[in-house]
């Protein structure tokens, strides 16, 4: 299987993760013109699963290092399979709430609040479970990102365009539990892998490719429960049915599948990078997606169009703090 063997490459892949995790929400925004997020989310989950299968039989089955995809699945023990499945279930609960938040409050609000909280809490969870990197640089970087989240929250509260709607407030409240749940999924999947040796993983442990595939199964299976409930009792609007899903056009379905594939690409690269950079650093850099999503929301989707000068200053400070925080997180791995 393909293995990442140096820190610089691990950082580069984590940056790609950040771009992927911060950009998939654009597909939801595109689909939202004609498609409810509850229906979009089914295609999103299918895209994740398809990517996991393709990656397993390609990158996960080539080269001399590590175990091939199918061989690794066959030897994995039930505890590790269960841990990866649980990661998928926890992620799905969090991501459905995040998707609802995006549909109600927009990218520039949902991501910095939800994923920002996930970044801060998730770094603590992952670092103290598997310490790697300079804790001083790492946690100062996290503190700066926490300040950026606060500035974003203040800016969102002052945004007249969004603030006039009750949907924005509901979206903000949904982003909070989404972030809390999102902080834990990564650790469950990482716990199923032998992070110290992808080249020759311990018996029963999994490679990133098999662990990620099992993770996507957890997402899909739990979606029959979580998303069915949301479809029948939506956060906003009237209930939607499975019949409506099958009436969707091919292009509409493909947008959702693309969104899931983009997220999945970022996630797999993050787990590949974790073996060299450590889970705390690879996770933290990936969750820098908050800044990428905010850029999309502010500059492309114009979610803060017409905002006051004070709000624009807060957004500028948010971006500066995010960049500084991410820089320190990168430096923490080189010390």
**Residue 206 DSSP SS3:** strand
Mean pLDDT of 301-314: 88
In this structure, is residue 308 part of a structural domain? yes
In this structure, is residue 159 part of a structural domain? yes
Residues 6 or more apart in contact with residue 259 via CB below 8 angstroms: 24, 25, 26, 27, 28, 31, 40, 43, 44, 47
| Structure confidence at residue 71 as a pLDDT band (50, 70, 90) | very high
The whole-angstrom separation of Cα 45 and Cα 34 is 19
Range of the domain at 328: 7-332
| Structure confidence at residue 14 as a pLDDT band (50, 70, 90) | very high
In this structure, is residue 2 part of a structural domain? no
Kindly list the distances between the CA atom of residue 121 and the CA atoms of 19, 181, 212, 257, 283, in Å, as whole numbers in the listed order.
Answer: 20, 10, 22, 29, 11
The whole-angstrom separation of Cα 264 and Cα 198 is 20
Does residue 162 have a pLDDT over 50?
no
Tens of pLDDT, residue by residue over 166-183, are: 667 788 889 999 999 999
Tens of pLDDT, residue by residue over 122-139, are: 888 888 888 888 999 999
pLDDT of residue 89: 98
Number of structural domains in the chain: 1
In this structure, is residue 1 part of a structural domain? no
Q: Give the number of other CB atoms < 10 A from CB of residue 124.
A: 14
pLDDT of residue 111: 79
DSSP string for residues in 226-268: HHHHHHHS-SSSS---HHHHHTS-HHHHHHHHHHHHHHHHHHH
The whole-angstrom separation of Cα 1 and Cα 201 is 12
Kindly list the distances between the CA atom of residue 105 and the CA atoms of 162, 164, 167, 173, 174, in Å, as whole numbers in the listed order.
Answer: 7, 11, 6, 10, 10
Tokens representing 108?
Answer: 């520039």
In this structure, is residue 311 part of a structural domain? yes
Kindly list the distances between the CA atom of residue 202 and the CA atoms of 58, 129, 189, 193, in Å, as whole numbers in the listed order.
Answer: 22, 18, 16, 9
The two counts, helices (H) then strands (E), for the chain are 15, 0
pLDDT top residue among 47 and 159: 47
Q: 0.95 cut: is pTM over it?
A: no
pLDDT of residue 69: 95
């Amino acid at each position: 299987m393909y293995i990442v063997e140096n820190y610089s490459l691990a950082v580069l892949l984590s940056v790609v993760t950040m771009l992927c995790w911060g950009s998939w929400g654009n597909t939801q925004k595109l689909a939202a013109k004609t498609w409810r997020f509850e229906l979009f989310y089914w295609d999103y989950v299918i895209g994740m699963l398809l990517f996991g299968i393709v990656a397993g039989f390609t990158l996960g089955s080539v080269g001399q290092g590590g175990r091939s995809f199918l061989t690794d699945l066959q030897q994995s023990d039930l505890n590790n399979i269960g841990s990866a499945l649980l990661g998928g279930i926890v992620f799905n609960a969090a991501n459905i709430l995040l998707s609802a938040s995006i549909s109600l409050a927009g990218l520039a609000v949902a991501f910095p609040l939800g994923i920002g909280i996930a970044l801060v809490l998730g770094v603590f969870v992952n670092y103290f479970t598997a310490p790697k990197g300079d804790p001083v640089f790492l946690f100062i970087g996290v503190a700066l990102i926490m300040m950026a989240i606060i500035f974003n929250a203040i800016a969102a509260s002052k945004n007249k365009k969004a603030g006039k709607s009750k949907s924005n407030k509901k979206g903000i409240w949904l982003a909070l539990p989404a972030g809390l749940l999102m902080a834990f999924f990564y650790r469950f999947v990482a716990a199923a892998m032998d992070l110290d040796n992808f080249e020759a993983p311990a018996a029963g442990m999994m490679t990133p490719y098999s662990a990620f595939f099992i993770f996507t199964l957890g997402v899909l299976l739990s979606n029959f429960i979580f998303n069915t409930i949301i479809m029948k009792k939506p956060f906003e609007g009237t209930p939607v049915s499975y019949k409506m899903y099958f009436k969707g056009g091919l292009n509409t379905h493909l947008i959702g599948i693309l969104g899931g594939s983009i997220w999945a690409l970022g996630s797999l690269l993050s787990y590949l990078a974790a073996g060299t950079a450590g889970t705390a650093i690879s996770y933290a850099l990936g969750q820098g997606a908050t800044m990428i999503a905010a850029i999309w929301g502010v500059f492309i989707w114009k979610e803060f169009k017409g905002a006051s000068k004070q709000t624009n200053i807060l957004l500028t400070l948010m971006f500066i703090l995010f960049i500084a925080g991410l820089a320190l997180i990168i430096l923490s791995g080189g010390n």
